[in-house]
C-alpha cells in the first residue's frame, strides 16, 4: 500500500463508532439474549504513568522533568580564590616573613557579604627575633579583626559590628604594635604589617612598613600602599629617581615599623573594588627584586592562580632569592 491508495488504507482501519451507536448496539445485544457475556467497548486509555511500568507492574527509571526556563540564569556567585607562597628564599637561614589568609563566603537566603582577610608581615632583617615579631603582629591583628568584624557579621543584623571598619583595622595594628613592643623589652625587634580586608566590594587597608599591596583591574596595575622607607622618602622629595632608588645602598631602612615604640602611625585606605580583578600582597623579597612590569606580566598570563604564584616566586629566586619571599595572590569576582 502506498500513500496514493487512500481508499485501501481506510478499508483496513476500524470504522469509527459514535457513543450513541455503542449504546444502541449494547441494547440490541441484550434483547437478543447476549447479556451473559457483555462486551465492554474499549474507551480511550488513560495516559501512562512515566514512573511505573504498567506491563510488569514495576517502578521504571525516573525520567527527568523538562520545563522551559522562565527566568534568566543567575550570574556566578561572588568568590575570592587565593594562592600563597611564603618561602625562606635562597640566602637566609630562617623565614622572617609571616602571612595569613582567611576567606569566608556564606550563601543561601540569608547570605553574608563575601569576607576576605589577607595579612603580610616582614620581620625586620638584622633585628633580633624578627620572625617572632612578624608572627605576633600578624596573628594579633587577625584576632582583633575576626572578633570585631567577622564574628559579629555572623550574628543577627541588629547585633552586627558597630565601629567603622577603618577604625577597627587601625586598632588591630596598634594592638599588634603593642604586643610586639611588650613581648620582650630587651629585644630590638620590629616588623612591617600590611592588612587587606575585602568586605563585599569594599577594600579596607591598614599599612605600616614597605610590604606592598597591588591591584590589577581594568587593564591597570597599581600600588595601593606607600612604602615607609628612607628610599621612598628621598624619592618623594625629589632627591632620588626611581632608577637610582633601585641601587640605593640604604634601601632597606624603614622609617616606620610595628613594635618600635608604644604607638605607631598607621596608613589606612578604603576603595570600591571593580567587579573582577586581582590583588597581590607581597614582602620586599618579591617587590624589591622583581619589577612591577614583570609582576604585571605574570598576573596577566593565561595560567592558573597557583601557576601565577609559582611564577612570582620563581622570578624572585631567579634574581638570587636574597630575601624571604612572600606573595599572596587573590582573584576576585564580586
Residues sharing a CB contact under 8 Å with residue 284, sequence separation 6 or more, in sequence order: 122, 210, 211, 212, 252, 323
What cell does 37 get?
457475556
Q: Considering Cα of 45, then 46, then 50, then 56, what sign does the dihedral take?
A: negative
- Average pLDDT for 282-304: 97
**Which is more confidently placed, 107 or 59?**
107
pLDDT of residue 334: 95
Determine what percent of the chain is predicted with pLDDT higher than 90.
63
**Which is more confidently placed, 115 or 249?**
115
Q: Which of 327, 333, 252 is nearest to 294 (CA)?
A: 327
pLDDT at 67 over 90: no
pLDDT at 139 over 50: yes
pLDDT at 214 over 80: yes
**Which is more confidently placed, 252 or 309?**
309
Q: Per mean pLDDT, which range of 68-82, 173-187, 217-231 is the poorest?
A: 68-82
- pLDDT tens-digit profile of 236-274? 999 998 888 877 888 789 999 999 999 999 999 999 999
Beta bridge partners of 197: 117, 204
- Average pLDDT for 213-220: 98
pLDDT of residue 330: 98
- pLDDT tens-digit profile of 173-205? 999 999 999 998 777 789 999 999 999 999 999
Query: What is the C-alpha separation between 209 and 228, in angstroms, rounded?
Result: 5
Q: Which of 192, 182, 178 is nearest to 98 (CA)?
A: 192
pLDDT of residue 106: 87
pLDDT of residue 69: 53
- Average pLDDT for 274-303: 97
pLDDT of residue 208: 98
Q: Across the chain, what does the average pLDDT equal?
A: 84
**Which is more confidently placed, 31 or 184?**
184
- In order of their start, the domains of the chain are 79-333 (3.60.40.10)
Cβ neighbours around 229 below 10 Å, total: 24
Q: What is the pTM of this model?
A: 0.77
Query: What is the C-alpha separation between 256 and 278, in angstroms, rounded?
Result: 27
pLDDT of residue 252: 81
Query: What is the C-alpha separation between 266 and 263, in angstroms, rounded?
Result: 9
pLDDT of residue 73: 53
Residue 111: pLDDT band by 50, 70, 90 thresholds? confident
Amino acid at each position: 500500500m502506498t500513500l496514493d491508495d487512500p481508499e485501501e488504507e481506510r478499508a483496513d482501519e476500524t470504522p469509527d463508532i459514535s457513543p450513541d451507536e455503542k449504546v444502541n448496539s449494547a441494547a440490541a445485544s441484550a434483547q437478543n439474549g447476549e447479556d451473559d457475556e457483555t462486551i465492554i467497548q474499549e474507551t480511550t486509555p488513560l495516559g501512562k504513568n512515566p514512573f511505573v511500568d504498567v506491563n510488569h507492574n514495576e517502578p521504571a527509571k525516573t525520567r527527568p522533568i523538562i520545563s522551559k526556563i522562565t527566568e534568566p540564569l543567575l550570574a556566578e556567585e561572588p568568590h575570592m580564590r587565593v594562592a600563597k607562597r611564603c618561602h625562606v628564599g635562597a640566602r637566609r637561614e630562617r623565614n622572617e616573613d609571616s602571612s595569613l589568609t582567611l576567606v569566608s563566603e556564606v550563601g543561601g537566603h540569608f547570605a553574608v557579604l563575601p569576607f576576605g582577610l589577607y595579612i603580610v608581615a616582614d620581620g625586620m632583617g638584622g633585628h633580633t627575633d624578627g620572625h617572632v615579631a612578624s608572627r605576633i603582629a600578624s596573628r594579633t591583628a587577625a584576632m582583633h579583626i575576626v572578633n570585631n568584624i567577622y564574628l559579629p557579621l555572623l550574628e543577627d543584623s541588629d547585633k552586627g559590628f558597630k565601629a567603622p571598619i577603618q577604625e577597627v583595622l587601625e586598632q588591630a595594628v596598634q594592638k599588634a604594635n603593642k604586643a610586639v613592643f611588650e613581648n620582650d623589652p630587651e629585644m630590638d625587634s620590629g616588623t612591617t604589617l600590611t592588612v587587606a580586608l575585602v568586605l563585599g566590594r569594599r577594600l579596607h587597608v591598614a599599612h605600616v612598613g614597605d610590604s606592598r599591596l597591588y591591584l590589577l583591574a581594568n587593564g591597570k596595575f597599581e600600588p595601593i600602599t606607600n612604602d615607609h622607607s628612607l628610599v621612598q622618602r628621598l624619592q618623594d622629595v625629589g632627591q632620588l629617581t626611581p632608577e637610582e632608588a633601585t641601587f640605593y645602598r640604604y634601601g632597606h631602612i624603614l622609617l616606620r615599623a610595628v613594635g618600635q615604640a608604644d604607638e605607631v602611625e598607621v596608613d589606612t585606605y578604603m576603595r570600591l573594588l571593580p567587579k573582577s580583578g586581582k590583588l597581590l600582597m607581597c614582602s620586599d623579597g618579591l617587590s624589591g627584586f622583581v619589577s612591577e612590569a614583570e609582576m604585571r606580566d605574570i598576573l596577566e598570563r593565561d595560567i592558573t592562580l597557583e601557576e601565577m604564584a609559582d611564577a612570582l616566586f620563581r622570578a624572585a629566586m631567579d634574581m638570587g632569592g636574597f630575601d624571604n619571599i612572600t606573595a599572596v595572590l587573590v582573584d576576585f569576582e564580586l
